[in-house]
Amino acid sequence: MQAIQTKTSQTIRCPNCGCLAERHYLLNQQTIQTQCPSCDYLMVTCSRTGNVVEAYAPGISAPKWVGIQAVV
């Protein structure tokens, strides 16, 4: 049996390198922050609009992020 967790972070797979990364839900700032300690991947999205606020990933250039944002 599992208790309902109020934790606002979860472990995910890094979309950049595939290692374990962490996703934090910053409720006060209405943002979702995903960061990977292995490759310095960082993405901050707005939980309200889904827009990418900030994104950084080694080996991934900015235009690709613009494309993702346009799809969303």
List contacts with Zn ion (CB under 5 A).
14, 16-17, 19, 36, 38-39, 41
Taking alpha carbons only, the member of 48, 23, 19, 51 closest to residue 35 is: 23
**CB nearer to Zn ion: pick between 9 and 38:** 38
Smallest distance from the beta carbon of 56 to Zn ion, in angstroms? 11
**CB nearer to Zn ion: pick between 20 and 46:** 20
Smallest distance from the beta carbon of 45 to Zn ion, in angstroms? 16
Q: With contact defined as beta carbons under 8 Å apart, do 36 and 21 qualify?
A: yes
**CB nearer to Zn ion: pick between 12 and 66:** 12
Cα 26 to Cα 45: distance, rounded to the nearest angstrom:
10
Q: Side chain identity at 24, as an amino acid letter?
A: H
